[in-house]
Amino acid sequence: MTSLLFLALIFLLAAVLIVPILKRLGLGEVLGYLVAGLVIGPSALGLVRDAEAVLHFAEIGIVFLLFIIGLELKPARLRLMRKAVFGFGSLQMLVTWLLLVLGCRWWLGLSIPATIVVSFCLALCSTPLVLHILGERRELNTRHGRLAFAMLLFQDIATIPLLAAIPFLADDALLAAGWEPLLDRILIATCALIGLIAGARYLLRPLFRLATGSREVFAGASLLVVIGAALLMHLAGLSMALGAFVAGIMLSDTEYRHTIEADIEPFRGLLLGLFFMAIGMTAKVELLFQSPALVLGLTAALLITKMVCMLIAGRLFRASWADSFNLAMLLPQGGEFGFVVLTAAGASALIDQATIELLVLVISLSMAATPVVFLTYVRWLQPLLSPTNSASSDREFDTPDNSSPRVIIVGFGRFGQIVGRVLQGLKIPYTVLDNDADRVVVVRRYGNDVYYGDATRPELLEAAGAGHAQLLVLAVSDIESSMRIIEQAQKHFPHLRIFARARNRHQAQLLKNAGIHYFQRELLPASLETSREVLVELGITRDKAQHAVDIFRPHDEQLMSRQLEASNNQKQLIQTVQEAYAELERVYAADEDIVAELERVMRSGHHQASDNQLG
């Protein structure tokens, strides 16, 4: 028991100390767990000796990962993204796999079944690493960001049939015995899969309905479904991960999906982190020193091959050169599912241990190299490919029809559309600019004159009629973009009166500091209206409730000004807020109408409580 607790302490300590450092360096959590495992494993400090035993236990983390992926793959979502997911995803996978097949046969000299698995494994990319880079650069909604996400989603889906096929590919005796035993195995697996789907369809909802009375029982039911589905597939000779994935898909459209995901997430995170640490412990770093030319040569070959394949796939899918280069530099690495596939292939004796150790090291090095490669590309090559930094779509920006608008609306989401509808109803001419190409296409279908363009460019504002327009309505959701637009508008069109949307209090302070004529905090009107209705429900008359809200609004504006002055001093900021609370109480206490109304409501509430007690 003591040794088990000591091992747990070592794993937790390594994860807490090392993972945040790697994450802060932009290398991602996956690489952090790999390095943590490497440090405590036999290749370094040797704090954990039996890495293989840990790896076998931690493989259940992959089962939970595939279950969560299944939960997130709602059929409706797949239908919406089908062209990018199955079109671009399959195209990239095919091009990369075919080229890697030739390389694996020539360089590694593997058997045909092993070549199929290894080339597929190396064609996979790292989902958490890529999404982390895109998220940091706010490029998830760009054209290359959406294509990257679609491709990673396809790879997650494509891994499932490969994991299911590995036991068949590894069983030489089964393949040599002819078609009859093979067909028997396929029939058993198919029946198990159909049984799982049917059982999930008709039994899971009643199971979770019974478990809704207790949070602990519901969590137990979630674990039961994951482990039960995985075990069923294992008994049928298929991958445990396949069972969990199918169960997840069957639950993705149920009303219990989000609760199940919340219950499973802690187990998935811990076990998946343990799995990557176990991979790190089994990594043979000494190979890098024993055969540096081989290891570094394979890593460089993998990076270059995948860059070329990604570039080819992007152009075949008719992505722009800029987007294709972005994808090539973003997705040249191996991925965490490569470790999963290699582990499954090793457990089935399809690939020898020496090859697995070499490939694990190569994939790890390629993941470590990706942030450096992408950062170098962004600084030196990307500006040459997209000098206007507008690599968000294949199409060029529109040239607005300058029809002497009195108002220019920038951003035509929910906020901007309401402003536009009012102006259109009153027949006041206006022009709309939006830098989301997909939204422009959708909105134009409804007959709106919306132009695709980046409003941070003064020449585009000029073309839209900013030179003689009266107002600029800024309805952009991104705070950084909205402040850049304000800077350009104030510099080049100082006559424009700017009316802006503030997403939160912080942006409201920025807008106030920039001298904006009028801005509206997104949630303030709704919050004040709700506050008024709460007071009315408590028994305060509607006019007095409105009076209380009217007092609050200027008080809040004064507080915001004082917070802006104290924004660089945390201690002073806290003191300012506390003083404002006390000041608001004094303001309300000094208002005779409000004090009298509160006394009336309190008396009324006291009498009602007494009547209820007597009754």
In this prediction, residue 390 carries a pLDDT of 40
Helix (H) or strand (E) holding 200: helix 179-211
Category of 499 on φ-ψ map: left (φ > 0), alpha (ψ -120 to 50) or beta: beta
Residue 96: which pLDDT band, with cuts at 50, 70 and 90?
very high
Residue 401: which pLDDT band, with cuts at 50, 70 and 90?
low
List strands edge to edge, sheet with 518-521.
450-452, 430-434, 407-410, 471-474, 497-502, 518-521
Category of 28 on φ-ψ map: left (φ > 0), alpha (ψ -120 to 50) or beta: left
In this prediction, residue 509 carries a pLDDT of 73
pLDDT single digits (tens) 169-186: 766 654 555 556 556 666
In this prediction, residue 73 carries a pLDDT of 67
- Does pLDDT of 611 surpass 70? no
Mean pLDDT of the chain: 78
In this prediction, residue 446 carries a pLDDT of 67
- Does pLDDT of 579 surpass 60? yes
pLDDT single digits (tens) 548-577: 888 887 777 777 666 666 555 667 767 777
pLDDT single digits (tens) 51-70: 767 766 777 777 787 787 77
Nearest to 451 by CA among 496, 396, 497: 396
- Does pLDDT of 394 surpass 70? no
Residue 306: which pLDDT band, with cuts at 50, 70 and 90?
very high
Q: What is the mean pLDDT of residues 387-401?
A: 47
Least confident of 232-246, 472-486, 598-612: 598-612
- Does pLDDT of 6 surpass 90? no
- Does pLDDT of 480 surpass 70? yes
Strands 407-410 and 471-474: parallel
CA distance 81 to 450: 24
The angle that helices 29-40 and 2-24 make with each other, rounded to 10 degrees, is 140
Q: Which residue has the higher pLDDT, 457 or 79?
A: 457
How are the residues of the chain apportioned to helix, strand and coil, as percentages rounded to the nearest 5? 75, 5, 20
Q: Which residue has the higher pLDDT, 1 or 298?
A: 298
Structure tokens at 555: 């008080």
- Does pLDDT of 303 surpass 80? yes
- Does pLDDT of 34 surpass 90? no
CB 602 within 8 A of CB 562: no
In this prediction, residue 77 carries a pLDDT of 61
In degrees and rounded to multiples of 5, residue 426 shows phi and psi of -90, 0
Neighbouring residues of 423: CB distance < 8 A, sequence distance ≥ 6: 407, 430
- Does pLDDT of 155 surpass 80? yes
Least confident of 216-225, 392-401, 504-513: 392-401
- Does pLDDT of 39 surpass 60? yes
Q: Using a CB cutoff of 8 Å and minimum separation of 24, what contacts does 450-453 make? A: 450/412, 451/397, 451/398, 451/399, 451/400, 451/401, 452/393, 452/395, 452/397, 452/398, 453/397, 453/398, 453/400
In this prediction, residue 387 carries a pLDDT of 47
pLDDT single digits (tens) 251-278: 877 767 777 877 777 777 777 788 778 8
Helix (H) or strand (E) holding 119: helix 112-123
Residue 311: which pLDDT band, with cuts at 50, 70 and 90?
very high
- Does pLDDT of 93 surpass 80? yes
Residue 310: which pLDDT band, with cuts at 50, 70 and 90?
very high
**DSSP bridge partners of 434:** 452
Q: Which residue has the higher pLDDT, 611 or 116?
A: 116
- Does pLDDT of 29 surpass 90? no
In this prediction, residue 300 carries a pLDDT of 93
Count other C-beta atoms under 10 Å from residue 429's C-beta: 14
In this prediction, residue 391 carries a pLDDT of 39
In this prediction, residue 607 carries a pLDDT of 47
- Does pLDDT of 397 surpass 60? no
Residue type at position 468: H
Nearest to 186 by CA among 160, 157, 164: 164
CA distance 115 to 99: 11
Identify the structural domains of the chain with CATH numbers, from first to last: 2-385 (1.20.1530.20), 407-522 (3.40.50.720), 526-614 (no CATH)
In this prediction, residue 567 carries a pLDDT of 57
In this prediction, residue 388 carries a pLDDT of 42
CA distance 317 to 42: 46
pLDDT single digits (tens) 275-289: 778 877 877 788 888
Q: What is the mean pLDDT of residues 210-221?
A: 81
In this prediction, residue 141 carries a pLDDT of 64
Residue type at position 59: E
In this prediction, residue 518 carries a pLDDT of 79
Residue 610: which pLDDT band, with cuts at 50, 70 and 90?
very low
pTM of the predicted structure, to 2 decimals = 0.55
Where is mean pLDDT largest: 77-81, 416-420, 489-493?
A: 489-493
Q: Which residue has the higher pLDDT, 367 or 326?
A: 326
